[in-house]
Copies of this chain bind each other. A is one copy, B any other.
Amino acid sequence: MSSGSDQQDIKRDKILDAAYQRFLHYGYSKTTMNEIAGDLSLSKALLYYYFPDKSQLYIDVMRKLAGEYIETLESKLNQFDNLKEAFISQIDAQHDFIVKNYNFFDFFRVNEQNLPDTIWEIITEIHQTELTLLSAAIKIEADKGNIKPVANPIEVVDLLLDALHGVRVSAVSHKKVMFPKKEHLDEIHSKRLMLLDIFVKGLMY
């Protein structure tokens, strides 16, 4: 896949890690290439040897995070007792992902409207994975006869994910803030479970 040497890949990865820490703690715009280089006792110029520019560095960190998220999601959704549990796994995984990397995503808030296409591709890939895994779960449960046959499982999953997203958005917009604080998270979580409960019942006979 990558054409560089092992050594090169290792260093590349170290840079990614250092960059991640900075982005996570200070956000995109408040971390400089100098600081990242400094953390590794390297010259800034070397960063440009490994990465074409700052935004590409950020995107590659993002890509790495997304890959890890997708991995945990796949391992979690490999086995489940019932449909509801499968969805709960997804809810929890996504929740942890967002909480853990909260500050990292300030790039998204700042660039709001015009995120680079590459970022959108990553977001789409994550979403696609969620759709695939969860719709597979629906199919399995439908085959077992635990729920009604579903004509278009992907569409249904898409709908549920949108709805769950709404619980988060509404919870914070009522509180006059854009992103949820710690104390809201429990509320969001329990609301989601309640919604999930009704939704799954709506899929049953």
Contact = CB atoms under 8 A, between A and B. Distances in A.
Interface of A: 112-115, 120, 155-156, 159, 161-171, 176-178, 191, 194-195, 197-203
A124 to B, nearest CB: 8
Nearest to A165: B166
B162 A166 contact: yes
Nearest to A161: B170
Contacts of A112: 178
10 contacts: A113-B176, A113-B178, A162-B166, A162-B169, A162-B170, A164-B166, A165-B169, A165-B170, A166-B167, A198-B202
Can you tell how many copies of this chain the complex includes?
2
Nearest to A191: B159
A82 B163 CA distance: 22
Given A113-B176, A176-B113, A176-B115, A159 B167 contact: yes
A193 to B, nearest CB: 11
Nearest to A112: B178
B176 A171 contact: no
A68 B170 CA distance: 23
B199 A113 contact: no
Contacts of A120: 176
A63 B163 CA distance: 29
Contact of A198 (B115, B156, B168): B156
A169 B170 CA distance: 10
Given A166-B167, A176-B120, A159 B198 contact: yes
B167 A191 contact: no
Contact of A201 (B170, B194, B195, B201): B201
A82 B200 CA distance: 21
Contacts of A194: 155, 159
